C-alpha cells in the first residue's frame, strides 16, 4: 500500500497526540519536583525557563494540528487533509522553533560544562539559528510558489534539508563537546589524585550516559526527519509532527533524572587533614548559603586554602559531609543540585571534586 500525503498527515497527528500526552505528564512531573526542591536547593532558572518555553511551543503545535484536524475533516473530509493552510503554516514554524529551543537547552549545558566559555558554544549557536532561518524561508517560499503544497516543492528541498541538517549538526556537536569535557575532566582529576578518587571516572561515565541516552532519542528524530525530507517521502509528515514532542521529551528526561535524586558519592583514600583535625572522628558536616558562596564571601577551611574564595560555584547549598564508606574509605558526599549541568572537576590540595 502506497502511503499518501493525506494518510501520512492523519497518522502523524494521531502519533503526536500520544506523544504530547507523554510529554505533558513528564513536564508536569519535572515541574512539580523542581518546585518542591526549590526552597532547599534553589532553582536552575535558565533550564526552568527554557523547559517551560519548549513545552509551550510543543503544546501550541499540537493545538494547531488539532484545530486543523477538526476543521478539515468537518469541512472537506480526508481528501486534501495534508494541503497547506494558514494554520499549518504556524505549525510548520513551531516545528523548527521547538527544535531551536531544544538545541538551546543543549547549548546552555555545553556552555556551563565548558566554564561559561562563549567561544565554545558560538558555532553550535550559529548552526541552530541558521537552521531555524532556513526553515522560515522555506515556509515563506512555499506560500509564494504553491500555497497548497502538502510537501516542499523539489526546488526547495536543498534549502529545507539545510534547515533540518543544521540543528542535527548542533545536537551532535554539543553532545560531543559535553561528553568530551566530562570525560577529560574526570580523567584529569583521577590522574591528579593518583587514584585516591576511585569513583571519579565511574561518575563521569554515569553523567555521560545521562546525556547520551537522553540525546539519542532527540538525535534519532532529527536524523530520520532529515533522511525522509531528502528523499521527499510522504512519511516525513508523520515524523515531523512526532519530532516536535520528542524535542520536548528528551530535555525533560534529563531534568527528571536529576530532580528524582540522582547523586554521586566521591571516594578518596584519605580525608583532608583539616577536616579530620577540625571535626575529629566520625562524619564532619559543613553547611553554607548559596548567596554567600556565589558572592565569594564564604570559605570552608577543610576544603579551601587559607584566604582563598569559595572555589565551587557549581555546588548547591546544603550539607556536605565526610564519612566512612562500607569499605572504610572516607567519602565526600555532595548534593546533586547542578548535576544536570554536568559541571565536573576541581582539585584543591589533592582533593578532586566533581558535581
Q: Tens of pLDDT along 289-308?
A: 444 444 444 444 444 444 44
pLDDT band at 196 (very low <50, low <70, confident <90, very high): low
Contact of 192 with 352, CB cutoff 8 Å? yes
Residues 253 and 309 placed together within one structural domain of the fold? no
pLDDT at 194: 59
Q: Looking at the domain assignment, is residue 354 inside a domain?
A: no
Element (H, E) at 287: strand 284-288
Question: Do the bridges between strand 284-288 and strand 264-267 make them parallel or antiparallel, or are there none, so unpaired?
Answer: unpaired
What is the pLDDT of the chain when averaged over all its residues?
73
Q: Looking at the domain assignment, is residue 341 inside a domain?
A: no
Residues 308 and 173 placed together within one structural domain of the fold? no
Domain, as residue range, for 184: 5-259
DSSP 310: P
Residues 255 and 272 placed together within one structural domain of the fold? no
Which CATH number belongs to the domain containing residue 231 in this structure? 1.20.1070
| Residues linked to residue 284 through DSSP beta bridges, in sequence order | 322
Residue 232 — φ and ψ, nearest 5°? 55, 40
Q: Three-state SS for 309?
A: coil
pLDDT at 251: 87
Q: Looking at the domain assignment, is residue 211 inside a domain?
A: yes
Residues 43 and 63 placed together within one structural domain of the fold? yes
Last residue of a domain, one of 259, 284, 317: 259
Contact of 137 with 166, CB cutoff 8 Å? no
Nine-digit cell string for 293:
558562596
Nine-digit cell string for 167:
540543528
Residues 207 and 102 placed together within one structural domain of the fold? yes
pLDDT at 312: 42
CA 191 to mean position of chain CA atoms: 29
pLDDT at 33: 85
* Listed range (64-73, 172-181, 207-216) with the worst mean pLDDT: 207-216
| Residues linked to residue 346 through DSSP beta bridges, in sequence order | 353
Residue 32 — φ and ψ, nearest 5°? -60, -45
Residues 240 and 270 placed together within one structural domain of the fold? no
CA angle 254, 330, 114 (to 5 degrees): 35
Q: Looking at the domain assignment, is residue 111 inside a domain?
A: yes
Question: Higher confidence at residue 2 or residue 36?
Answer: 36
Residues 254 and 272 placed together within one structural domain of the fold? no
pLDDT at 12: 94
pLDDT band at 258 (very low <50, low <70, confident <90, very high): low
Residues 148 and 63 placed together within one structural domain of the fold? yes
Q: Three-state SS for 168?
A: helix
Question: Taking 50 as the threshold, does the pLDDT of residue 345 lie above it?
Answer: no
What mean pLDDT is predicted for residues 269-279? 41
pLDDT at 286: 38
Question: Higher confidence at residue 115 or residue 342?
Answer: 115
Percent of the chain residues past pLDDT 90, beyond the cut: 34
Residues 209 and 327 placed together within one structural domain of the fold? no
pLDDT at 1: 60
pLDDT at 99: 93
Please enumerate in sequence order all residues whose Cβ is within 8 A of that of 334, keeping only pairs 6 or more positions apart, or say none. Answer: 263, 264, 266, 315, 320, 353, 355
Q: Looking at the domain assignment, is residue 294 inside a domain?
A: yes
Burial class (CB in 10 A: 0-12, 13-18, 19+), 272: buried
Q: Looking at the domain assignment, is residue 130 inside a domain?
A: yes
- Rounded to the nearest 10 degrees, the angle between the axes of helix 118-145 and helix 86-113 is 170
Q: Looking at the domain assignment, is residue 106 inside a domain?
A: yes
Q: Three-state SS for 1?
A: coil
pLDDT at 282: 41
Element (H, E) at 66: helix 45-75
pLDDT at 60: 97
pLDDT at 63: 96
Residues 36 and 141 placed together within one structural domain of the fold? yes
Nine-digit cell string for 217:
532519542
Most confident listed range (78-82, 127-131, 324-328, 330-334) = 127-131
Residues 115 and 188 placed together within one structural domain of the fold? yes
Q: Looking at the domain assignment, is residue 219 inside a domain?
A: yes
Q: What is the pLDDT of residues 210-253, one digit of tens each?
A: 777 667 888 899 999 999 988 888 899 999 999 999 999 998 88
Question: Taking 90 as the threshold, does the pLDDT of residue 147 lie above it?
Answer: no
Residues 166 and 271 placed together within one structural domain of the fold? no
Question: Taking 60 as the threshold, does the pLDDT of residue 114 lie above it?
Answer: yes
- H helix intervals, 76-117: 86-113
What mean pLDDT is predicted for residues 118-142? 93
pLDDT band at 121 (very low <50, low <70, confident <90, very high): very high
Last residue of a domain, one of 259, 282, 299: 259
Start-to-end CA span in the chain (Å) = 53
The number of distinct structural domains making up the chain is: 2
Site of grid cell 566559555: 117
pLDDT at 332: 37
Amino acid at each position: 500500500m502506497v502511503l499518501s500525503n493525506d494518510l501520512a498527515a492523519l497518522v502523524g497527528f494521531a502519533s503526536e497526540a500520544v506523544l504530547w500526552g507523554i510529554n505533558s505528564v513528564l513536564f508536569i512531573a519535572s515541574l512539580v519536583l523542581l518546585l518542591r526542591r526549590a526552597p532547599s536547593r534553589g532553582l536552575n532558572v535558565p533550564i526552568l525557563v527554557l523547559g517551560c518555553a519548549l513545552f509551550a511551543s510543543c503544546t501550541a503545535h499540537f493545538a494547531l494540528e488539532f484545530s486543523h484536524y477538526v476543521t478539515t475533516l468537518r469541512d472537506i473530509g480526508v481528501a486534501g487533509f495534508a494541503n497547506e493552510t494558514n494554520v499549518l503554516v504556524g505549525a510548520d514554524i513551531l516545528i523548527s522553533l521547538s527544535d531551536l529551543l531544544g538545541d538551546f537547552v543543549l547549548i546552555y549545558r555545553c556552555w556551563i560544562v565548558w566554564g561559561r566559555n562563549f567561544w565554545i558554544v558560538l558555532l553550535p549557536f550559529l548552526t541552530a539559528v541558521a537552521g531555524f532561518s532556513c526553515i522560515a524561508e522555506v515556509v515563506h517560499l512555499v506560500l509564494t510558489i504553491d500555497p497548497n503544497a502538502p510537501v516542499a516543492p523539489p526546488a526547495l528541498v536543498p534549502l529545507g534539508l539545510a534547515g533540518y541538517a543544521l540543528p542535527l549538526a548542533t545536537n551532535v556537536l554539543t553532545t560531543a563537546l559535553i561528553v568530551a569535557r566530562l570525560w577529560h575532566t574526570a580523567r584529569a582529576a583521577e590522574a591528579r589524585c593518583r587514584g585516591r578518587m576511585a569513583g571519579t571516572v565511574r561518575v563521569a561515565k554515569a553523567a555521560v550516559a545521562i546525556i547520551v541516552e537522553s540525546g539519542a532519542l532527540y538525535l534519532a528524530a532529527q536524523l530520520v526527519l532529515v533522511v525522509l525530507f531528502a528523499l521527499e517521502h510522504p512519511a516525513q509528515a508523520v515524523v515531523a509532527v512526532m519530532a516536535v514532542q520528542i524535542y520536548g521529551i528528551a530535555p525533560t528526561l534529563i531534568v527528571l533524572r536529576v530532580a528524582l535524586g540522582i547523586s554521586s558519592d566521591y571516594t578518596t583514600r584519605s580525608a583532608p587533614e583539616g577536616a579530620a583535625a577540625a571535626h575529629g572522628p566520625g562524619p564532619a558536616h559543613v553547611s553554607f548559603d548559596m548567596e554567600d558562596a556565589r558572592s565569594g564571601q564564604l570559605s570552608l577551611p577543610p576544603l579551601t586554602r587559607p584566604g582563598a574564595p569559595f572555589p565551587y560555584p557549581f555546588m548547591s547549598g546544603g550539607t556536605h559531609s565526610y564519612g566512612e564508606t562500607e569499605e572504610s574509605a572516607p567519602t565526600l558526599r555532595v548534593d546533586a543540585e547542578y548535576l544536570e549541568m554536568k559541571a565536573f572537576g576541581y582539585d584543591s590540595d589533592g582533593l578532586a571534586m566533581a558535581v
